[in-house]
Amino acid sequence: MEEVLTNLFRIEIPLPGSPLKSLNSYVIKAPQRNLIIDTGMNRKECLAAMEAGLQELGVDLEKTDFFITHMHADHFGLVARLVTDTSTVYFNRPDAEAVEGWSGWESMLDYAGRNGFPEDELRAALHNHPGYKYSPERVPKLTILEDGDAVIYGDYRFTCVQTPGHTRGHMCLYEPAGKVLVCGDHILHDITPNIQCWSGKENPLKSYLESLDKVYELEVDLALPGHRSLFRNCKERIDELKRHHQERADEVLSILGKDAKHAFQVASEMTWDIVCESWGRFPVAQKWFATGEAIAHLIYLEAKGMVFRLGDEKTITYSLNSA
């Protein structure tokens, strides 16, 4: 636990077995009401670390509210075990609609299968997915915030900045007086946020790149990300992330070459920062994330007219647009 700014603290919540290693949960202590930003997964290790940090800070949960940047289990999973009858849980509308209207994983599994994910690995991918294992048992009452809304605690007056891409409704908090950006998983310093797609109706990479441009316009002296180290070079990091996705898109085009391929095949030939002898030895959960990212890039390229999609009820493949 560390004090990042006056009355703004970071508690590192461990994420055992995850490449992310830990979650940064931020706590603002204020005379009337405290605010916790993001919580960790719904698992005992996360709860123990959170309780220890809050005890050290002397935070009373009866006088504490929550802001959750997005719906993923490492941010949203623990909140239901921390809320009290007096708590307000702030959330964005698109992610709230997703979690409140959740109808199960079957549609995602079906779409993954159509994109080439092997049938014999689908259930293993599901059972190893953190969202499947560590989501909250219930969804607490959510208070919806919109882009531009204010969140005021103590001396901090944040403005909500909607940044879709990582999820449909991902939301950052910007404090213009201190030039501080609480950026969740929108911008990370030493790892790249995973942009996945599990629906042919969305273009999350396009949304993500537009959100990067939106945040680029903000004056940021200190960025408080959801994982790993804090950083100050926000504009430089945004430029790096945009170059990364352009290189990824170019790599996908090169992989397609002259042959039609489904997303799982494309993912198997992409470059990943995982120490593994071969794609076959990738952890199945990482194959899932990699395939989702491949789909996101393929749909992005399709929208730009650089690839086209061929599909029937069983299989979706992509080819270069020779025109």
- Do the domain assignments include residue 192? yes
Contacting residues for 43 by C-beta, under 8 A, at least 6 apart: 16, 77, 78, 133, 134
- pLDDT tens digit string along 185-241? 999 999 999 999 999 889 999 999 999 999 999 999 999 999 999 999 999 999 999
Structural domain boundaries enclosing 54: 2-235
- Do the domain assignments include residue 313? no
- Do the domain assignments include residue 213? yes
- Do the domain assignments include residue 200? yes
Q: What is the pLDDT of residue 72?
A: 98
The C-alpha atoms of residue 58 and residue 135 are separated, in whole angstroms, by 27
- Do the domain assignments include residue 320? no
What crossing angle do the helices spanning 106-114 and 119-127 adopt, rounded to 10°? 140
Structure confidence at residue 323 as a pLDDT band (50, 70, 90): low
- pLDDT tens digit string along 118-140? 999 999 999 999 999 999 999 99
- Do the domain assignments include residue 43? yes
Q: Residue 75 maps to which CATH number?
A: 3.60.15.10
- Do the domain assignments include residue 134? yes
Overall domain count for the chain: 1
Q: What is the pLDDT of residue 20?
A: 94
Provide the whole-model pTM.
0.96
Burial of 242 (0-12, 13-18, 19+ CB in 10 A): middle
| Percent of residues, the chain, with pLDDT higher than 70 | 100
- Do the domain assignments include residue 277? no
Q: Does the pLDDT at position 49 exceed 60?
A: yes
Q: What is the mean pLDDT of the chain?
A: 96
> Quick one: tokens of 125?
């991918």
The C-alpha atoms of residue 245 and residue 175 are separated, in whole angstroms, by 28
* 266 CA to centre of own chain: 22
Q: Does the pLDDT at position 322 exceed 80?
A: no
Q: Does the pLDDT at position 41 exceed 80?
A: yes
Mean per-residue pLDDT, 166-187: 98
- pLDDT tens digit string along 71-103? 999 999 999 999 999 999 999 999 999 999 998
Q: What is the pLDDT of residue 103?
A: 85
Strand 64-67, strand 8-14: pairing? unpaired
